[in-house]
């Protein structure tokens, strides 16, 4: 006996009841009711099942996963990144199976792929052998300072700036409108430079008017004196630091102000216990400790009337123990977790 779903609906039956009775999907019944003719059973044939409505085969999926790992330029395309629509177009040419970008996106999602911004890398400019040697040396330094901090200190160093301008422009507005904010830059910037000690996460931060080699030397000199007085405490003499004090290793990035020969020579002469720095970009080591030397992602939500007010807050956060970092959390989340109101 043939049952016409359109007539069934005309009899007052719901689409779900018809689907349950026939043992098919609700989607199929909805298609029949929308496109079918009660007097022509042939009209109930789902036209989507013809032509391009194909299911991805294992071959299609395997090719997709292979292509997604390649750069578009390798396959002769001029664009720089794959979108789901571009992948669907390429795979249709290769397999004859036409899927939409949404279908390709669902396949990738089922295979645990997500669409994220790529990170810039300078690995092609790095010397693999130097990178390997540096990582081995650093691991040894960290092992020693963890076991014997009185013999060796390792400091991770960085610098950054804070501006009076509030860069966030998101605000609550009624739908269909957009709030205007002033595009005039407010003059004023605080430059900070400092480091964090690996063994106990102690921070030393200094302020400087401008990022130059001379200012780097001055900050490093202040840092060296602080390390000496911290080591001496109440039981030792400052004059004994050069002989009995620990060696101090600082890990820097490859900024030009760190390599001015005029000042590096003075540093070697005036700071004998300082084992001169390694440059992370040369070795290719991605260390989260550098970015967290004084938490360069602090969110300054307040408006500051002057540089003095901004500097006072930064000093309170970084030098007076007001900024606490949960070091057990993932590195990429540490900066984002800090809000200064």
Higher pLDDT, 225 or 328: 225
pLDDT in tens, 108-129: 999 989 887 766 666 666 677 8
pLDDT tens digit sequence for 318-339? 666 655 555 454 444 443 333 3
Tell me the average pLDDT of the chain.
75
Assess whether pLDDT exceeds 70 at residue 15. yes
The answer on 140 and 42 residing in a single domain is no
Cα–Cα distance for residue pair 272/242, rounded to 1 Å:
7
Q: Is residue 116 part of a domain?
A: no
193 and 96 share one domain: no
Q: Look up the domain containing 299 and give its range.
A: 129-165+187-340
Q: What distance in Å separates the CA atoms of residue 18 and residue 4, rounded to the nearest whole number?
A: 10
Residues 64 and 45 grouped into a single domain: no
14 domain residue, yes or no? yes
- Give per-residue pLDDT as tens, 158-168: 887 777 665 55
The count of structural domains within the chain is 3
Lowest mean pLDDT among 36-40, 99-103, 208-212, 250-254: 36-40
* Predicted local distance difference test score (pLDDT) of residue 189: 73
| 176 assigned to some structural domain | no
Residue-level pLDDT at 228 = 93
**Residue 6 or 83, more confident:** 83
φ/ψ bin of 176: left (φ > 0), alpha (ψ from -120 to 50), beta (otherwise):
left
Residues 25 and 158 both lie in one domain: no
| Statement to judge: residues 9 and 95 lie in one domain | no
Specify whether 21 is located in the same domain as 98. no
Same structural domain, 141 and 284: yes
* Strand 274-279 relative to strand 247-252, pairing: parallel
266 and 292 part of one domain: yes
- Per-residue model confidence as pLDDT tens digits over 126-167: 677 877 888 888 889 889 998 998 899 998 888 877 776 655
Q: Are residues 134 and 221 in the same domain?
A: yes
| Torsion over CA: 255, 256, 258, 259 (sign) | positive
41 with 63, same domain: the answer is no
Task: Specify the pLDDT at position 88.
Answer: 93
């Amino acid at each position: 006996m043939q049952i016409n779903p359109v007539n069934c609906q005309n009899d007052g039956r719901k689409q779900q009841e018809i689907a349950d009775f026939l043992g098919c999907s609700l989607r199929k019944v909805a298609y029949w009711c929308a496109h079918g003719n009660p007097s022509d059973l042939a009209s109930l044939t789902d036209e989507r099942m013809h032509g391009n409505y194909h299911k991805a085969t294992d071959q299609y999926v395997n090719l997709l996963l292979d292509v997604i790992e390649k750069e578009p330029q390798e396959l002769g395309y001029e664009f720089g990144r794959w979108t789901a629509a571009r992948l669907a177009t390429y795979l249709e040419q290769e397999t004859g199976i036409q899927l939409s970008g949404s279908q390709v996106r669902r396949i990738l999602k089922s295979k645990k792929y997500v669409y994220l911004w790529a990170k810039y890398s300078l690995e092609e400019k790095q010397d693999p052998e130097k990178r390997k040697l540096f990582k081995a040396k650093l691991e040894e330094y960290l092992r020693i300072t963890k076991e014997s901090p009185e013999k060796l200190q390792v400091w991770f160093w960085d610098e950054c700036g804070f501006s009076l301008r509030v860069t966030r422009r998101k605000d609550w507005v009624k739908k269909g409108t957009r709030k205007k904010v002033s595009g005039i830059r407010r003059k004023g910037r605080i430059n900070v430079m400092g480091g964090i000690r690996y063994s106990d996460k102690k921070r030393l931060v200094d302020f400087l008017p401008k990022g130059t080699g001379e200012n780097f030397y001055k900050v490093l000199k202040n840092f060296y004196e602080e390390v000496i007085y911290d080591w001496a405490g109440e039981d030792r003499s400052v004059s004994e630091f050069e002989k009995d004090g620990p060696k101090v290793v600082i890990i820097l990035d490859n900024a030009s102000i760190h390599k001015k020969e005029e000042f590096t020579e003075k540093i070697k002469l005036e700071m004998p216990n300082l084992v001169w720095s390694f440059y992370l970009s040369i070795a290719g080591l991605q260390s989260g400790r550098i970015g967290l030397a004084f938490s360069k992602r602090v969110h300054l939500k307040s408006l500051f009337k002057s540089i003095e007010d901004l500097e006072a807050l930064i000093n309170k956060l970084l030098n007076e123990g007001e900024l606490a970092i949960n070091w057990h959390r993932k590195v990429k989340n540490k900066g984002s977790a800090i809000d200064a109101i």
